[in-house]
Amino acid sequence: MADLTITAASVVAGTNSTRDHGTAGETIAAGKAVFLEPTTNKWMLSDNNGTGTRTVNGIALNGASFNQPLAIHKSGDITIGATLTAGTDYWLSGTAGGICPVADLDTGMDPVLIGIAKSASVLAVDIQDPGVTL
């Protein structure tokens, strides 16, 4: 399997979306997993292979470059702009901002659940991080 191929223009928050707003700390595309960097208070791409980036606080709802405004989907339904398999759980991947099925997780990664697919296009976001490393 591989990371979801997300069409940024198709990312849309559902009516039950919980959102946050802030400033991008780097270039971020809609549909990418992000975290709030505590030192700069800016949103950055989550990365399961990085140091200090192995957390997810939400999914970017719009694209933004450094220091531009960014809307973040924190929980609830999102049309993710990718083809999903209903009932499948999706996780933070080892690619910056990437979302993948559990089969793509490997030794040394932190299993951070992003959500479970409700249909072929809607992801029910419920971020869970048990704080362990595989």
CATH code for the domain in which residue 90 is found: 2.40.300
Q: Has residue 49 been placed in a domain?
A: yes
Q: Does the structure show a pLDDT above 60 at 55?
A: yes
Percent of the chain with pLDDT over 90: 82
Domain count, the chain: 1
Average pLDDT over residues 48-77: 94
Give 102-129 as a 3 state SS string: HHHCCCCCCCCEEEEECCCCEEEEEEEC
- Domain span at residue 85 reads 8-128
- 18, 115, 121, 101: which is closest to 61 by C-alpha? 18
- β partners of residue 79: 12, 122
Q: Has residue 93 been placed in a domain?
A: yes
Say what the pLDDT of residue 1 is.
Answer: 57
pTM value is: 0.94
Q: Has residue 76 been placed in a domain?
A: yes
Q: Has residue 133 been placed in a domain?
A: no
pLDDT band at 97 (very low <50, low <70, confident <90, very high): very high
Average pLDDT over residues 59-88: 97
